[in-house]
Amino acid sequence: FAMDYLAAASQCAIHLSRLAEELIIWASQPFGFVRMPDTLSTGSSIMPQKKNPDAAELVRGHAGRIIGCATALMVTMKGLPLAYSKDMQDDKPPVFEAAGLLDLCLAAAAGMIADSRFEVARMRQAAELGYATATDLADWLVREADIPFREAHHITGTAVRLAESRGVALDALSLDEFKGIDSRIDERVFAALSVDASVAARASYGGTAPDQVRQRVAEARSELGMDE
């Protein structure tokens, strides 16, 4: 059971570490997607304007220690016979250490999510850059115009190059410009080219569609007994 717990703790720590890494990147100046709470950050000792995401960095670091605890016990157990050996007395320290670290990580992660301020407008602006809906255009061509994906890929590339040359987004191209690329494109294509439509289109289990996200959150809250 000690190994089972440490395996589960390691998996949980990995998820928390990845979340922490996202928050660290998003809080950096080039992204600016999130402002971390002052209570979980510190100022830089050198740069007055800098805000260090200490809690997120510690979560990321503690995850390595938790994985190390699991590894330590597994290495201890790997050479033992199936009967009890005194080596097993070393099973407790890694469990206690991992449990304490994981408790800190969970508390820090919960605090970061609850108290951070997400810059939604900036995130939307970033989502609209880089022709992220180009894949949606290719999918639309396959689904609605019955075009093989290889050909749809080529058509989409042509549309992206045209939009790039004009310095506009895909949905800023006119219908005539789309038809100039391929006559099978009609006005319905514009419904597939917005960021909102792209997000909503991923409606399979665990997808990005708002309804799917709400359902998965509700399931998680129920599993954790948070709605009781």
CATH value at residue 86: 1.20.200.10
Tokens of 22: 């996202």
At residue 115's C-alpha, the angle toward residues 114 and 119, to 5°, is 100
Residue position matching structure tokens 């399931």: 219
If asked whether residues 8 and 119 sit together in one domain, one would say yes
Does residue 205 lie within any of the structural domains? no
Does residue 213 lie within any of the structural domains? no
Instruction: State the total domains in the chain.
Output: 2
If asked whether residues 30 and 105 sit together in one domain, one would say yes
| pLDDT per residue as tens digits for the range 167-213 | 999 999 999 999 999 999 999 999 999 999 999 999 999 899 999 99
Does residue 206 lie within any of the structural domains? no
CA distance 93 to 183: 69
> Which amino acid, one-letter code, is at 119?
E
Question: What average pLDDT is seen over the chain?
Answer: 91
In this predicted structure, the answer to whether residue 30 has a pLDDT above a threshold of 70 is: yes
Tokens of 66: 């938790």
**pLDDT at residue 90 in the model:** 80
If asked whether residues 120 and 133 sit together in one domain, one would say no
**pLDDT at residue 59 in the model:** 96
If asked whether residues 28 and 49 sit together in one domain, one would say yes
Full residue range of the structural domain in which residue 152 is found: 128-193
Tokens of 87: 């080596």
In this predicted structure, the answer to whether residue 51 has a pLDDT above a threshold of 90 is: no
pLDDT tier at 39, thresholds 50, 70, 90: confident
CB 56 within 8 A of CB 112: yes
All residues at 6 or more sequence positions from 105 whose CB lies less than 8 Å from its CB, including other chains: 13, 16, 59, 62, 63, 66
Pairing between β-strand 117-118 and β-strand 51-52 as defined by DSSP bridges: unpaired
Of 44-53, 58-67, 137-146, 162-171, least confident by mean pLDDT is: 44-53
Q: Return the CATH number at 162.
A: 1.10.40.30
- Enter the pTM of the model: 0.81
**pLDDT at residue 211 in the model:** 95
CA distance 109 to 62: 12
If asked whether residues 83 and 178 sit together in one domain, one would say no
CB 176 within 8 A of CB 189: no
CA distance 137 to 157: 10
If asked whether residues 54 and 111 sit together in one domain, one would say yes
Dihedral sign from CA coordinates of 196, 198, 199, 200: positive
Q: Of 78, 103, 126, which residue is a domain's last?
A: 126
Phi, psi of 35 (to 5 degrees): -115, 115
**pLDDT at residue 48 in the model:** 64
CB 92 within 8 A of CB 6: no
DSSP string for 82-137: SS--GGGGGGHHHHHHHHHHHHHHHHHHHHHHHH-EE-HHHHHHHHTSTTTTHHHH
Does residue 220 lie within any of the structural domains? no
CB 126 within 8 A of CB 148: no
Q: What is the average per-residue pLDDT within 55-69?
A: 95
Tokens of 163: 């939009």
**pLDDT at residue 228 in the model:** 62
pLDDT tier at 226, thresholds 50, 70, 90: confident
Does residue 221 lie within any of the structural domains? no
| pLDDT per residue as tens digits for the range 74-117 | 988 888 788 777 777 788 999 999 999 999 999 999 999 999 99
If asked whether residues 9 and 66 sit together in one domain, one would say yes
What Cα–Cα distance (Å) separates residue 38 from each residue in 61, 112, 117?
20, 10, 11
**pLDDT at residue 135 in the model:** 94
